[in-house]
Amino acid sequence: MSFFKKISCLLVVLLVCVNLIGHEGIASDGEITLKEAIDIGLKRAKEWNVNAKLTSVNSVDDKMGGSRGETGKRFNWFMNFIVPGTDDYVLIGISEKKITVFRANKQTPDPIIPYDDIKLDSSDVLQLAKDQYGLKQGEDWATGFNFTLDSIDGKPILTVFGNDQDNRFTRISFNAKNGDVVSAIHKLPYGGGLISKRIDTENLTKKGMAITGVVAGNKDLVVWGDKKPTQFSTTKQPFIEWSDNNGETWTGLQANSYVTHAWFNLKDQLYAATEKELWAGITSKSKGTKILTLDHMIENIDYSINNNIAAISNGKVYYTSNKGESWKQAIVPKPLYIVQISDNGDLVGFTEERKILQKTNDSWNEITMPNSNDIPLDMKVIHNRLFISTQNGIWTRNLQEGNWRKIQVDEMIVKLIKKGEKLFGITEKDEAIYSINMKDEGKSEKVFAAKDLIIWDVDSMGDKLWIATIPDYSWEEMTIQKRR
> In this predicted structure, what is the pLDDT of residue 481?
62
> How far is Cα 375 from Cα 365, in angstroms, rounded to an integer?
17
pLDDT in tens, 261-297: 999 998 899 999 999 999 999 988 888 999 999 999 9
What average pLDDT score do residues 445-457 get?
93
> How far is Cα 484 from Cα 482, in angstroms, rounded to an integer?
6
Lowest mean pLDDT among 25-34, 317-326, 373-382: 25-34
Would the pLDDT of 54 be above 60? yes
**H-helix segments, 68-173:** 122-133
Please provide the DSSP assignment of 84-114 as one string: TTSSEEEEEEEETTEEEEEEEEE-PPPPP--
Would the pLDDT of 16 be above 50? no
> In this predicted structure, what is the pLDDT of residue 375?
93
Domains in the chain: boundaries: 2-186, 189-475
Lowest mean pLDDT among 184-193, 228-237, 324-333, 382-391: 228-237
- CA 100 to chain CA centroid, Å, is 31
Taking only Cα atoms into account, the Rg of the chain, rounded to an integer number of angstroms, comes to 27
> How far is Cα 344 from Cα 233, in angstroms, rounded to an integer?
37
Would the pLDDT of 484 be above 50? no
> In this predicted structure, what is the pLDDT of residue 284?
81
pLDDT in tens, 129-188: 999 999 999 987 778 999 999 999 999 999 999 999 888 999 999 999 999 999 999 999
59 against 22, higher pLDDT? 59
pLDDT in tens, 317-347: 999 999 899 999 999 989 999 999 999 999 9
Q: How many CA atoms lie within 13 A of 251 on its CB side?
A: 15
> In this predicted structure, what is the pLDDT of residue 441?
65
> In this predicted structure, what is the pLDDT of residue 28?
63
CATH of domain 189-475: 2.130.10.10
